[in-house]
Structure 1
Amino acid sequence: MSTEIKLIPTDNLISIIPLIKLLNPALPETMFKTRLEEMIAQGYQCAGLYIDNKLIGICGLWIMTKLYVGKHIEPDNVFILPEYRRLGLGKRLLEWVYKYGKSQGCIASELNCYVSNETGNAFWEQEGFAKIGYHYQKYLESS
């Protein structure tokens, strides 16, 4: 079994949509394509986890600077196909992300995880992330 983790080229990011659809089944696929184009224009990157050249996991990446933390890397929409979970692959993917972040001058990593995602929250805490705040969201009404 050959495992590889690498950045997915921008012109091939459409390949992540089947995994994103599993992560967000209620949203239409056409919306993913439109949003992905906007995200790419805003600097979005994605690491792919491949086994025998099959994409089995993804980790979206944002690199940004904020006043309170400095330059950091933010994993986003981290997903591994269920049949490949609990094999240590998530940990390997994140080790790759941290190494990549450091190579880009990042000094920290920060992320969001839904409160209802108990498994995810346990995973992130096990990875050494600390809960430091709440993530709020408000949709703006169209005028």
Structure 2
Amino acid sequence: MEFKFTILDKTDILKVVPLVEKLDNFKVTKEVLSERFLEMIQQNYECAVILSQNEIIGVCGLWFCTRHYAGKSVEVDHVYIEDAYRGKGVGKQFFKWIYDYAINKGCSTIELNTYVSNYPSHKFYYNEGFEILGYHFLKKF
């Protein structure tokens, strides 16, 4: 099976909402997710997708910034690949594409957060050479 990795056109951003909904980390409604993605796409955010026969089967947000400790960086966000495509090397191919894309944009580092209980992602990211450097804290107002 062939896959295409690409940056989603900003006008198509709402096409990823059904996949991100499946992450279900904060139980955010589809309406709120849609509003937030429409706002995010106006910021330093791009959305990478995996296409299989023109259907989106994977998604990954990319936040670009310059960090005082890392230089120009990309932060990977809300990575999701449909269940039927997991364990087949698609994630590895996707991340290779993401690394190349970020390097071409001048990035020298890549960062991400993953949930403590998401053990399969920990193994994947360790195998990709990521290291744990700290804790992610969140406070809602």
TM interval, shorter chain, is over 0.9
Structure 1 CA distance for aligned equivalents of residues 7 and 41 of structure 2: 13
Deviation at 1:45, TM superposition (A): 0.7
The reply to whether residue 17 of structure 1 matches residue 17 of structure 2 is: yes
Structure 2 CA distance for aligned equivalents of residues 6 and 41 of structure 1: 18
Query: Which ranges in structure 1 are unaligned for 5 or more consecutive residues?
Result: none
SS in 1 for 2:116: coil
Asked if the contact 2:47/2:59 (under 8 Å) is kept, the reply is: yes
SS in 2 for 1:18: helix
2:12 maps to a residue whose letter is N
* Count of residue correspondences: 140
Q: CA RMSD in A?
A: 1.1
Instruction: After superposition, give the CA deviation of every residue in 1:85-127 in whole Å (9 maximum; x if it has no partner).
Output: 0110000110110000001000010111111111111111111
The reply to whether residue 4 of structure 1 matches residue 11 of structure 2 is: no
Aligned to 1:89: 90
Aligned to 1:123: 124
Structure 1 CA distance for aligned equivalents of residues 8 and 42 of structure 2: 15
Instruction: After superposition, give the CA deviation of every residue in 1:48-104 in whole Å (9 maximum; x if it has no partner).
Output: 101111110011111111101111111111110001101100001101100000010
Instruction: Give me the identity figure in percent.
Output: 37
Equivalences for residues 126-137 of structure 1 within 5 A: 126-137=127-138
SS in 2 for 1:87: coil
Aligned to 1:42: 43
Deviation at 1:2, TM superposition (A): 3.0
Structure 1 CA distance for aligned equivalents of residues 2 and 128 of structure 2: 25
Query: Which ranges in structure 2 are unaligned for 5 or more consecutive residues?
Result: none
Aligned to 1:74: 75
Structure 2 CA distance for aligned equivalents of residues 64 and 24 of structure 1: 26
User: What TM-score does the superposition give when structure 2 sets the normalisation length?
Assistant: 0.95
Structure 1 CA distance for aligned equivalents of residues 34 and 52 of structure 2: 25
Structure 2 CA distance for aligned equivalents of residues 24 and 65 of structure 1: 29
2:74 maps to a residue whose letter is I
Structure 2 CA distance for aligned equivalents of residues 113 and 129 of structure 1: 11
The reply to whether residue 30 of structure 1 matches residue 35 of structure 2 is: no
2:81 maps to a residue whose letter is I
Aligned to 2:105: 104
Structure 1 CA distance for aligned equivalents of residues 60 and 88 of structure 2: 17
Asked if the contact 2:13/2:38 (under 8 Å) is kept, the reply is: no
